[in-house]
Structure 1
Amino acid sequence: MVRQGDIFMVNFNPSKGHEQKSQRPAIALSNDLVTETSNMTIVAPISSTARHYPMYHRLQTTTKIYGQVLLDQTIALDLNARGVDDRSVVEHILRQELKDIIYQYSLLFDID
């Protein structure tokens, strides 16, 4: 099972418009309890884009994946239906960076 903080490969197709497409790395953001009870996982795609948007988090602690977590493009996925399993996991980020990402993600829902 993919766990919170795991970086794994997933195919985002089908997609529409400006959504991320194709096979790419993603990070599991939702708590493991969500996955265990609903078989759904909230994930954010990772891109090697060079843009500096406020809702992009540049990975700091990863050694295998380079890029930015696109927090404005999170999606709930049924990873089993997409063929994602333990073999798809590339690595796991450090707890502090995961906390930083979750905090930054929570700002999407902040009320001014």
Structure 2
Amino acid sequence: MTPVPELPDRGHLVWVSLDPQAGHEQAGRRPALVVSPASYNGPVGLALFCPITGQAKGYPFEVALPSGLAVSGVVLADHVKSLDWRARRAEYAGTAPDAVVDEVVRRLVLLLGSNPSEAAVPPAPIG
């Protein structure tokens, strides 16, 4: 593993610390797929990551990584996290195929809804 070149970009496979965690969240230093573009990650200092686990359970939001990559397992598209990639010591481990990245993003769109009317509406402020 090497430090992330300049900054993480969509499709990069990285090792990143997910601690602290709570409940059913993935924990520890583990591989993750970067789903946000460098054009966001650089100026903001954050990136959107989907953790990768070696324990596939057949959930609908798992996306399998092909063999032959430096990282193996399934991407958990529904565990997306926004993290400070510098503070979390992201280390570059490779790049996922475009087809994997596209499938993860497709499942995120399914989860969030493809247009605003399908997404959950936040409650009005109280007071």
Whether TM-score is above 0.5 comes out as: yes
1:104 matched to 2:107: yes
Percent of residue pairs identical: 25
The 1:42/1:26 distance shift into structure 2, 3 A limit, reads same
Task: Specify every segment of 5 or more residues in structure 1 that has no aligned partner in the other structure, as ranges.
Answer: none
Contact kept in structure 2, 1:8 and 1:90, CA below 8 Å: yes
For 1:47, the equivalent position in structure 2 comes to 53
For 2:15, the equivalent position in structure 1 comes to 9
Cα RMSD after superposing both structures: 1.6
Task: Specify every segment of 5 or more residues in structure 2 that has no aligned partner in the other structure, as ranges.
Answer: 1-6, 120-127
Give me the TM-score of the superposition, normalised by structure 2. Answer: 0.79
The 1:3/1:61 distance shift into structure 2, 3 A limit, reads farther
1:95 matched to 2:98: yes
What is the one-letter code of the residue matched to 1:51? K
For 2:76, the equivalent position in structure 1 comes to 70
Q: Distance in 2 between matches of 1:93 and 1:50?
A: 18
The 1:98/1:62 distance shift into structure 2, 3 A limit, reads farther
Give me the TM-score of the superposition, normalised by structure 1. Answer: 0.89
Aligned residue pairs total: 109
